[in-house]
């Protein structure tokens, strides 16, 4: 009833093809960059191009009217000082950050627990930068137990950096460049801005489609495809703009906090080198933070506006990251153990993760991985023991409770299974746990 293979799976992103209709949709709804009603209506003059398609172009007056109403939601960006479209309120952003911070941590490996001092160090550097930012948010900085070199920010100042990215950095100033960049994403309200502009674009596109249906135009699928393509292209362009802005103002925050801004240049140089290596583990980082020679060169030009010098913090960084760097080979062993399991070399997989445990006996992830490997071999009692070790070291990660709960279920210890599965759901809602709880209730 409960037997299932525990694994992690990454789905490819499906990108829609570009279509000429994007040109029409884009011109009409790129007005979300503006906040002058006359300019918005002027932008909508392109509607005349659709005159052959619709006998009554006067109906298109709905588009500028709606856009003018949307523009009333404009407010000042706290970082740039410019008026921009924000449909999402600051209070709502704070709520989103609070609600999504834990689930995002859970889905990306959970907190790095093996060296709590490292988390304290990263938070201290982050708070030093946050104190000089343009938005006084309840900033929080955590280190995630994830090999992928990545960092991200949620609305409201919730920021995470992966263990894997810390291994790619050389000094505290480069860490400040990463965290400063993420702070700008939160302070400049990039999430709210993207949501607001995308909503305005989609609203306008839907009006076009509704009018096409009203006028009985046969090829409405063309407009639907154009809408999807326009939204995708918008997100791509917005992402690029947000990254450039975060680089620029992140450097400004570095200087305010006393760091050497040249570290932002060396950081981009590192990212460009990582691209050339083309390792699969870098894909997640570059999907959300696309590096390029353009960004490297922009940072070079930006730092010329500031006097050279400032804190590098190489020794402090090396001391703070000494443990995570010295234990990095053990995490490579964990990945190798998972690879062995994927090709049914179960004995090798277990012996390899046990080797990792000898290097870092207090790493809950290694105990949890051992539990997963044993579970998949239907050694449920041994799996329960491994998961229990993981929970003793980290009682805040859902996978350990999920795995142990499923193992209990297979041994028909339903009371223990239900307790663990419910705890798993409290930490991170999964369909696997929900299905298992349903099976328990229906037995």
CA distances in angstroms from 95 to 135, 152, 156, 185, 372, listed in the order given: 16, 17, 8, 16, 34
Residue pair 208/224 in contact (Cβ under 8 Å)? The answer is no
All domains of the chain, ordered by start, with CATH? 21-87+192-239 (no CATH), 90-183+259-320 (no CATH), 327-442 (1.25.40.10)
- At residue 52, the 3 state secondary structure works out as coil
Give me the pLDDT at residue 89, please. 79
Give me the pLDDT at residue 272, please. 84
Where in 102-192 does DSSP place strands (E)?
140-144, 151-154, 158-162
Which helix (H) or strand (E) segment holds residue 75: the answer is strand 74-76
Q: pLDDT (tens digit, 9 = 90+) per residue, 25-47?
A: 333 334 334 333 333 333 333 43
What is the spatial distance between Cα 428 and Cα 105, in angstroms, rounded to a whole number? 9
Give me the pLDDT at residue 92, please. 85
pLDDT means per 10 residues, the chain with 443 residues, are 52 38 38 36 39 46 54 67 71 90 96 97 98 94 96 95 97 98 91 63 55 52 50 52 91 97 94 74 52 83 93 98 97 97 96 98 98 98 98 98 98 97 97 97 91
> What's the predicted TM-score (pTM) here?
0.76
Say which residues have a Cβ less than 8 Å from residue 275's Cβ, sequence separation at least 6. Answer: 282, 286, 291
Q: What are phi and psi of 12, to 5 degrees?
A: -70, 150
Give me the pLDDT at residue 271, please. 86
Give me the pLDDT at residue 37, please. 34
Which helix (H) or strand (E) segment holds residue 357: the answer is helix 346-359
130-131-136 Cα angle (round to 5): 75
Residue pair 388/401 in contact (Cβ under 8 Å)? The answer is no
Exposed, middle or buried: residue 176 (CB in 10 Å: 0-12, 13-18, 19+)? buried
Q: Would you say how long the chain is, in residues?
A: 443
Give me the pLDDT at residue 26, please. 38
What is the spatial distance between Cα 252 and Cα 233, in angstroms, rounded to a whole number? 29
């Amino acid at each position: 009833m409960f037997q299932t293979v525990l694994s992690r799976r990454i789905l490819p992103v499906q990108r829609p093809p570009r279509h000429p209709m994007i040109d029409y949709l884009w011109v009409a709804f790129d007005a979300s960059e503006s906040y002058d009603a006359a300019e918005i209506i002027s932008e909508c003059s392109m509607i005349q191009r659709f005159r052959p398609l619709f006998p009554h172009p006067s109906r298109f007056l709905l588009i500028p009217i709606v856009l003018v109403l949307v523009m009333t939601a404009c407010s000042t960006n706290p970082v740039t000082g410019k008026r921009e479209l924000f449909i999402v309120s600051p209070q709502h952003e704070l709520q989103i950050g609070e609600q999504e911070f834990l689930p995002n941590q859970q889905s990306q490996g959970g907190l790095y627990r093996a060296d709590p001092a490292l988390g304290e160090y990263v938070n201290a550097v982050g708070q030093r930068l946050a104190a000089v930012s343009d938005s006084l948010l309840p900033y929080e900085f955590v280190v995630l137990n994830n090999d992928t070199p990545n960092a991200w920010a949620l609305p409201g100042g919730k920021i995470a950096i992966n263990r894997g990215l810390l291994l790619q950095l050389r000094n505290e100033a480069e860490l400040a460049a990463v965290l400063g960049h993420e702070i700008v994403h939160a302070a400049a309200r990039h999430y709210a801005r993207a949501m607001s502009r995308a909503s305005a674009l989609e609203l306008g596109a839907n009006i076009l489609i509704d009018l096409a249906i009203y006028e009985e135009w046969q090829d409405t699928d063309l407009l639907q495809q154009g809408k999807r393509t326009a939204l995708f292209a918008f997100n791509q362009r917005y992402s690029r703009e947000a990254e450039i802005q975060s680089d620029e103002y992140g450097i400004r925050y570095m200087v305010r906090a006393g760091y050497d801004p040249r570290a932002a240049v060396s950081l981009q140089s590192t990212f460009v080198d990582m691209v050339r290596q083309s390792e699969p583990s870098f894909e997640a980082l570059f999907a959300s933070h696309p590096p390029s020679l353009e960004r490297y060169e922009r940072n070079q030009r930006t730092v010329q506006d500031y006097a050279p010098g400032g804190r590098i913090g190489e020794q402090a960084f090396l001391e703070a990251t000494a443990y995570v760097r010295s234990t990095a080979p053990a995490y490579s062993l964990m990945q190798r153990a998972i690879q062995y399991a994927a090709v049914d070399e179960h004995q090798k997989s277990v012996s390899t993760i046990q080797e990792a445990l000898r290097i870092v006996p207090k790493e809950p992830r290694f105990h949890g991985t051992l539990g997963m490997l044993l579970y998949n071999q239907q050694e449920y009692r041994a799996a329960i023991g491994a998961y229990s070790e993981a929970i003793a070291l980290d009682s805040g990660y859902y996978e350990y409770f999920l795995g142990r709960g499923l193992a209990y279920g297979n041994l028909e210890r339903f009371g223990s299974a239900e307790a663990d599965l419910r705890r798993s759901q409290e930490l991170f809602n999964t369909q696997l746990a929900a299905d298992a709880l349903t099976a328990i209730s229906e037995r």
